[in-house]
């Protein structure tokens, strides 16, 4: 679960996610390779910094970064889309809430029903939320990425594109993630195969970035090791643990339908906090939002979530604190609603 700012087909929304790596729409493509970085001054300086920060052997870190390969195409993949690219919720939704993915989700749920029930009992996170995440992230383990994570992270740590609007911040992020990944590499058994993932370093069934792996991943199958690459049960527990850590409230809906009273509508004020729930139900309605009877009983704050539909009118929902929790996996309301709706569709399709 990483910086996962997804490039959307037929419209995009760019998330800046703390713990997840941005995914490429064809990341299950052929393996990539490039030129070794070698012992350049930049490589040695970064290696020494990371070795000291994570208490790793300096010579070993230098050797790892020096033999890592520069992936020429990767820096371009982290650039935002053109400003003129329209966001399109309906087109985005169609990529995920479609028969093949729903059917795969049903099969996954049936296979791992006991683990999903255990996760819900342990962390209070509904099974459909975990199923939605794993379906959107990796199509239930089918698309986990084919880039060597060491190569991808080293490339972005040393060659992050300077034209990115937040280049310094993002490069520092990938340098930090590279350090966490080196710690994981050091713990791997001798002769282990290189770990592969997305072009930005997200790994396994849930596409956790290295720092998220270290902080939120759990051994949910009880075999004595955490393995998000090969254990869907560990992935189930880890996703639920992540949601719980970011404040998931058991029993709270993620969102409600919303309409508008145009005579009283103060949409600029309602949209100003973006997806952060900031309005009591009373204040929300005082500014022209119209809620159904169930939503009017909501005990916490709400946010007006706006989703563009290309040239058509936008869609809106009233997001709760739990909707905001889903966006901590990927800072995108489009992503969050796709996860929610995929999980709901799979649940509805269960025999």
Four-CA torsion 278, 279, 281, 286, nearest 10 degrees: -160
117 is catalytic: no
* R_g of the chain, CA atoms, integer Å: 21
206 CB burial (10 A radius; 0-12, 13-18, 19+): buried
Q: Is 73 exposed, middle or buried (0-12, 13-18, 19+ CB in 10 A)?
A: exposed
Give, in order, the Cα–Cα distances in Å from 272 to each of 52, 268, 333.
Answer: 42, 6, 15
- Per-position DSSP letters for 273-320, written without gaps between them: TTTS--B-HHHHHHTTEE--HHHHT--S-BEEEEEEETTEEEEEEEE-
Per DSSP, 147 falls in state: E
What residues does 203 pair with on adjacent strands? 197, 208
The Cα–Cα gap between 167 and 182 comes to 22
E strands in the chain: 35-36, 69-70, 147-148, 196-197, 255-257, 259-260, 289-290, 303-309, 312-319
Catalytic residue among 120, 137, 169, 341: 137
Residue 240 is classified by DSSP as H
Residues labelled catalytic: 137
């Amino acid at each position: 679960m990483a910086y996962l700012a997804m490039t959307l087909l037929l419209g995009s929304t760019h998330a800046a996610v703390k713990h997840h790596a941005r995914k490429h729409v064809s990341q299950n493509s052929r393996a990539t390779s490039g030129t070794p970085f070698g012992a350049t001054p930049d490589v040695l300086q970064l290696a020494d910094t990371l070795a000291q920060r994570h208490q790793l052997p300096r010579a070993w870190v230098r050797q790892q970064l020096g033999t890592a390969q520069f992936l020429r195409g990767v820096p371009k993949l982290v650039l935002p889309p053109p400003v003129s690219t329209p966001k399109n919720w309906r087109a985005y939704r169609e990529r995920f809430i479609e028969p093949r993915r729903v059917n795969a989700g049903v099969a996954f749920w049936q296979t791992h029903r006991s683990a999903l029930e255990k996760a819900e009992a342990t962390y209070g996170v509904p099974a459909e939320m975990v199923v939605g995440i794993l379906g959107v992230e990796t199509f239930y383990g089918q698309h986990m990425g084919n880039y060597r994570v060491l190569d991808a992270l080293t490339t972005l740590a040393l060659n992050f594109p300077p034209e990115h609007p937040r280049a310094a911040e993002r490069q520092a992020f990938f340098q930090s993630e590279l350090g966490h990944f080196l710690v994981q590499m050091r713990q791997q058994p001798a002769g282990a195969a290189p770990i592969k993932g997305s072009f930005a370093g997200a790994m396994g069934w849930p596409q956790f970035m290295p720092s998220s792996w270290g902080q939120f991943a759990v051994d949910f199958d009880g075999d004595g090791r955490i393995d998000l690459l090969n254990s869907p049960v560990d992935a189930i527990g880890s996703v639920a643990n992540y949601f719980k850590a970011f404040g998931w409230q058991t029993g709270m809906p993620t969102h409600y339908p919303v309409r508008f009273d145009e005579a009283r509508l103060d949409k600029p004020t309602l949209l100003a906090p973006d997806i952060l729930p900031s309005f009591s139900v009373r204040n929300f309605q005082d500014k022209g939002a119209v809620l159904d009877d169930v939503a009017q009983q909501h005990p916490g704050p709400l946010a007006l979530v706006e989703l563009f539909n290309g040239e058509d009118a936008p869609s809106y929902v009233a997001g709760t604190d739990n909707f905001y929790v889903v966006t901590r996996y990927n800072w995108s309301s489009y992503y969050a609603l796709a996860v929610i709706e995929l999980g709901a569709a799979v649940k509805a399709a269960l025999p």
